[in-house]
Amino acid sequence: MNDHSHDESTVVRSAFEKDIDEVLEIERLSFSAPWTYHYFKLSLNDLFIVCEQKEILGYLIACFCETEKKAVILKIAVHPDHRRKGAAKALLKKSIQMIAKEDIGEVELDVEMYQRGAVKLYEDFGFKIKRIAHFMGGLAEDYETFYVMTLTLPKSE
């Protein structure tokens, strides 16, 4: 995997409360039911990282399920102006490195089936489709079908 689209000024780092307003803008541009400021503030205690150059390009949030020895990637989004330039790859690479340092055996995420580019990206990182899941919201148009994808991490010594 090459990250040629990003230069040396691209940084993936932990998120801070001061980053939430920029993250919220990306969230609103990326999801039909965006999280609120409050949810992002609570997520600062989880694995919450941002990819930035002069501005925040994207973010990733994951949480750890200690009892199941797995991490779940809850959110990953990149600003529409910066998509397909390596930010999502940088976020995934860094998060997997950070997760691998914990006593975690598996990383899980959900992706809508029609998001073929995202499915391919996750497969490039070694994620495999574990099952197909369905979500039925209150309205007929809230029906979603998505893949649950998992990545098995090597056992740490």
- All domains of the chain in start order, with CATH: 11-152 (3.40.630.30)
pLDDT band for position 82 (cuts 50, 70, 90): very high
Query: Among residues of the chain, what percentage have pLDDT more than 70?
Result: 89
H or E segment to which residue 99 belongs: helix 87-100
Identify the residue with better confidence: 3 or 136: 136
What's residue 142's pLDDT? 63
Tens digits of residue pLDDT in 93-119: 999 999 999 889 999 999 998 889 999
Measured distance CA(107)–CA(27) in Å, rounded: 22
Query: Among residues of the chain, what percentage have pLDDT more than 90?
Result: 74
HSE on the CB side for 146, CA within 13 Å? 15
pTM for the model stands at: 0.88
pLDDT band for position 149 (cuts 50, 70, 90): very high
State the CB neighbour count (10 A cutoff) for residue 29. 13
What's residue 3's pLDDT? 40
DSSP character string of 24-41: HHHHHHH-SSPPPHHHHH
Measured distance CA(127)–CA(27) in Å, rounded: 24
